[in-house]
Structure 1
């Protein structure tokens, strides 16, 4: 009895948060859940995942945090008279927002294909890209007019493009279906927390450095944030992984285990045939286009991000209070994002998580549409920010779990879906004209519709994957007899 109790007392130390359901753990270790996904039981695997978490997640989180700090600095710079200083009129500011995504979209698929080809070290490649965007972002401080700002924003999009799809690809190479949603949600919280504290950083910068050495506060903002980003890029070279079998800070045994466990977790795993073949595989899989539509609708619903200080400003407060009030909704959103990632991974479920989260967001958008009450509108900011952001990790985890037959197909699929999804920022930048304030009815009503479309496409994919699983079990498709099925 004493020995048994002692053994039980040690169990929590060998358990990861996504595997802690005691009622299901024993069964999943043996035969897996409805899709064949299993909980970790091998001490070597548990130790490996813990090592991966400690090396990969902190640096990726910091890089994504700074990615959004740099990208969205322009939204806070507007509160320090950037538009007036550069002579922006009409929709020119909106164009400066959307032009970033033109460059951003052009580079994502080629970048992920290059990373999957194994011709470059992902750790070195992504760190160089980060250093490049840091320099370009800092150069925003040198802009003098609309034309120069458009050019800087275009090249910022090009240099930032490799990071996020590349980060998703790297996570998919090292984490299983039950693990990846939580890791993507932790990564994505970098975006959310960056947006939360960006206003505070901007407020402090404007208050202390405005007109110092002849520079405006918004110029100092870009210089300081660019310098910090450049410094962190150097750390990425040593902390980021490469591929499972080539990561230098893993032992030979850990490299093989990292490779084997992902192969075991892949539905209909196929032999790699190169980056171009992976792109062709992705484009021939119709599920890619449904997932691309789903993610496009989700990011369309998140279009308030670039205008959030403006939306908060419509409540009638001064610029300093406005910047401070942008923080709490994003803090709550970050917590919600991690909770959804944990529960989605633990139960290996996606559709209901998307439905409930986006349902909350739609309610928030509708409240903003129908009332000008200050309290109600501020509460709605919590609802739509938390609900909309929470589903990102679920959708992208679904992509890697469904379309990962080869690393090259997975990389191309993630790149393509991110391209289609981020195209939403080109047109949604025009949903918030100043003439629509303070209600911003066009933007908020559109976001509600985008949220509904996200939920509808999730249920279509659920039906599609359940039907495919039945065909696999009957032996009508390749992969018949496999213990691994599609998760929904």
Structure 2
């Protein structure tokens, strides 16, 4: 039975499977290493009963949450705080000091990072996150601080362009790093928390900026908007140095974990997505080519592009609140304070959606619910655009934040689920998807172009169209996954009954090998 659109057709590999005493479910688990500590850890784990192993896995996951998850969220909060600081600075005097027009602001806000994402993730798949991520953090913080020294459109544009290359590795890199530690059943709620860093930073950005403007504006001859970049950049550098001492690398090399924890961490991921020796591990370039040739990479990429446009209002939210036909608020402090609550509501909703998606394993359903909530908010904003109802428009942004950020949080778990192996392909696919996501961020600067204000009715219509496309694309991918899973059912049964032997299986696509040997299926 063949799929109309073949999956992983370029990933066929020749692997001779050798049965051994350590063989479990058709997979040779000796690739964990042959040093005495690893061998002893492996033997200990194999001696556990299912109940003991489940208990030990829970302990390990708790440790991962305290170390891996906490570090990822902390870094992402600061990442988005730096990215979002320009929106706060705009209502605090940035445009007046640098003499830029609203359209120039759109360009400054949009000329962030696009091309650096994919090569950064390719490098990360072969390097150490404990070095790569903190160095990236320090670089973007120092460059962001330099924004305070800009005096014109040209210098501001140059700093933002360079800042994009410094920040590029972080989000897709950390997203890929999390998939190396958590299983499909765990990653949804973790991604919801991780992406919730956007909501937390967006909320606190307003509160922090309000405090800075009210207390430091004009002090030492420095404007309030300049203090925003200086203080937030300094904090980020300090945190980058701090986290560099605690970030673990990958399960096979994490020095802060005991040998038994490292082996158990690898066994969990291998059981979930298949061991890394299935299909071999191609080079960075080979993994990139595999990702480019897989149509799902581009489906997910265009999906991310549209979803990023759905949350694109985030960079213009303080400005929208100050427009007479937006929310109509005039006081800078009021605007900054009122911009916080919608993000906190969005954080709670996104987390609930992530937990529910993990429990039910129905990610497509939760994605479609998120799109439906977003569509309701956009229809309200379109309908209220020419009505004198600032309260109604403000309430609609709560709903918009809930739906759009929930959709964003569901997106990345699907990449790891659809492309579990090879790791270099998964890293490249996440990088490509995030590059297209940032094309969406660039386009959102023009979706909310000055000429489309002050109601931005046309902007909301464009975002509604992208929401509809996203819903259709998710349905299409879910339908394709169901078809492929049916084919994998047949392959697994044929392998179990001996109709397909190990030699023949080794020539089949990686997803077929995973299905036959581990029971792996694509997530829906």
Residues of 2 paired with 1:250 and 1:80: CA distance? Answer: 46
Secondary structure of 1:42's aligned partner = helix
Q: Write the distance in 1 (CA, Å) between the matches of 2:400 and 2:220.
A: 41
- Following TM superposition, the consecutive aligned residue runs of length 4 or more in structure 1 with deviations greater than 4 angstroms are 38-41
- Report whether the alignment pairs 1:264 with 2:300: no
Tell me, in whole angstroms, the C-alpha distance in 2 between the residues paired with 1:39 and 1:310: 55
Deviation at 1:454, TM superposition (A): 1.1
**Count of residue pairs the alignment pairs up:** 446
State the shift of 1:40 in Å. Answer: 10
Task: For 2:208 and 2:124, locate their aligned partners in 1 and report how far apart those are by CA, in whole Å.
Answer: 34
The alpha-carbon distance between structure 1 residues 433 and 288, as it changes in their structure 2 partners (threshold 3 A), is closer
| 1:47 aligned to which of 59, 71, 81 | 59
Classify the secondary structure of the residue corresponding to 2:250.
coil
Judged with a 3 Å threshold, the aligned counterparts in structure 2 of structure 1 residues 397 and 285 are, in CA distance, closer, same or farther, namely same
State whether structure 2 residue 471 is matched by structure 1 residue 455: yes
Higher relative contact order (CA 8 A, sep 6+): 2
Are the structure 2 counterparts of residues 95 and 39 from structure 1 closer, same or farther at C-alpha, using a change threshold of 3 Å?
Answer: farther
What is the CA–CA distance in structure 1 between the aligned matches of 2:131 and 2:102, rounded to whole Å?
A: 41
* Cα distance in 1, alignment partners of residues 134 and 102 from structure 2: 37
d(CA) in 2 for partners of 1:91, 1:144: 17
> Does structure 1 residue 420 correspond to structure 2 residue 436?
yes
Question: What corresponds to 1:343 in structure 2?
Answer: 356
CA RMSD of aligned residues (A): 1.7
Q: Partner of 2:16 in structure 1?
A: none
Q: What TM-score do you get using the length of structure 1 for normalisation?
A: 0.89
1:38-187 equivalences under 5 Å are 42-100=54-112, 104-117=113-126, 120-187=127-194
Task: Give the equivalent residue in structure 2 for 1:12.
Answer: none
Q: Distance in 2 between matches of 1:237 and 1:323?
A: 32
| C-alpha distance in structure 1 between counterparts of 2:364 and 2:450, whole Å | 36
Answering whether residue 473 of structure 2 is matched by residue 438 of structure 1, we say no
Query: Does 2:302 match 1:296?
Result: no
What is residue 36 of structure 2 aligned with on the other side?
Answer: none
Relative to the length of structure 2, the TM-score reads 0.83
Deviation larger for 327-336 or 56-65:
56-65
Alignment correspondent of 1:24:
none
C-alpha distance in 2, partners of 1:410/1:436?
A: 39
Q: Output the CA distance in 2 between the equivalents of 1:428 and 1:435.
A: 14
In 2, the alpha carbon distance for the partners of 1:317 and 1:427 equals 27
**Distance in 2 between residues matched to 1:63 and 1:421, nearest whole Å:** 20
SS in 1 for 2:111: helix
**1:237-316, aligned counterparts within 5 Å?**
237-266=244-273, 269-313=278-322, 314-316=326-328
Alpha-carbon distance in 2 for matches of 1:379, 1:439: 15
Q: Is 135-144 or 234-243 further displaced after alignment? A: 234-243
1:396-425 deviation line (CA, Å, top 9, x unaligned) = 101111112121111111111101121111
Q: Could you give the per-residue CA deviations for residues 178-205 of structure 1, whole angstroms, max 9, x where no partner exists?
A: 1111111111111111111211111111
How far residue 90 of structure 1 moved from its aligned partner, in angstroms, is: 4.8
Distance (Å, rounded) in 2 between the aligned partners of 1:153 and 1:347? 42
Q: What secondary structure is seen at the aligned counterpart in 2 of 1:105?
A: coil
1:205 corresponding residue in structure 2 = 212
Distance 1:466 1:125, change over 3 A: same
Q: Check the 8 A contact 1:301/1:446 in 2, yes or no.
A: no
| 1:471 corresponds to | 487
Counterpart pick for 1:404 among 409, 420, 431: 420
Distance 1:61 1:40, change over 3 A: farther
**Contact in 2 for aligned 1:96/1:150 (Cα 8 Å):** yes
Contact 2:346 2:398 in 1 (8 A): yes
